[in-house]
């Protein structure tokens, strides 16, 4: 709602909006702030395995400096070939699940599988750790030797 003065000097409220509920804290300029207790990220989001030391940005400390830098420099629109090269290097260090790769690459798990893992598997560059059951819940991927 907008408040204005009429010609006689009285306040008049206009507009189709609803007034702000009383009791909400306001910022210095009078704008409402968000109430405490907003929902947080849901529990159960994938994280790196427990017990692994991490760098301040959350990347595992065992990653080579050059590879950690390549991961940090990936943008959301990095070319697929660039991201696939990072995946190949990661999976040459140890086997990673799609969840772990998604966390490291800051991407959706399904996108990681469709855009990076699946083409690398078809090309024979990566292999399953459980080849007899590709959809196994703990399936991980490693670079073929």
Work out whether the CA dihedral 115, 120, 121, 122 comes out positive or negative.
positive
Report the 10 Å Cβ neighbour count for 98.
19
| pTM of the complete model | 0.63
pLDDT digits (tens, 9 = 90+) for 56-88: 667 888 999 999 999 999 998 999 999 999 999
- The pLDDT, as a whole number, for residue 45 is 42
CA angle 72, 57, 36 (to 5 degrees): 120
Is pLDDT at 127 greater than 70 in this prediction? yes
- The pLDDT, as a whole number, for residue 40 is 40
pLDDT digits (tens, 9 = 90+) for 1-11: 566 777 777 77
More confident residue, 109 or 51: 109
- The pLDDT, as a whole number, for residue 29 is 53
**How would you class 68 by CB atoms within 10 Å of its CB: exposed for 0-12, middle for 13-18, buried for 19 or more?**
middle
Mean pLDDT of the 14-29 span: 54
Q: Where exactly are the structural domains of the chain?
A: 65-143
CATH topology for 65-143 is: Arc Repressor Mutant, subunit A (1.10.10)
pLDDT digits (tens, 9 = 90+) for 24-62: 554 555 544 445 444 444 444 444 555 555 566 678 889
Q: Tell me if residue 96 falls in helix, strand or coil.
A: strand
């Amino acid at each position: 709602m907008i408040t204005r003065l009429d010609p006689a000097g009285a306040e008049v409220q206009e507009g189709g909006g609803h007034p702000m509920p009383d009791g909400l804290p306001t910022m210095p300029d009078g704008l409402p702030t968000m109430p405490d207790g907003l929902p947080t990220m849901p529990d159960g989001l994938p994280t790196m395995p427990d017990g692994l030391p991490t760098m301040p940005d959350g990347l595992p400390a065992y990653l080579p400096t050059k590879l950690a830098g390549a991961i940090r420099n990936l943008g959301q629109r990095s070319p697929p070939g660039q991201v696939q090269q990072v995946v190949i290097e990661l999976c040459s260090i140890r086997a990673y699940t799609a969840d772990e790769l998604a966390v490291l690459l800051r991407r959706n798990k399904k996108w990681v599988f469709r855009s990076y893992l699946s083409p690398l598997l078809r090309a024979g560059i990566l292999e399953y750790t459980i080849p007899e059951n590709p959809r196994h819940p703990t399936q991980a991927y490693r670079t073929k030797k």
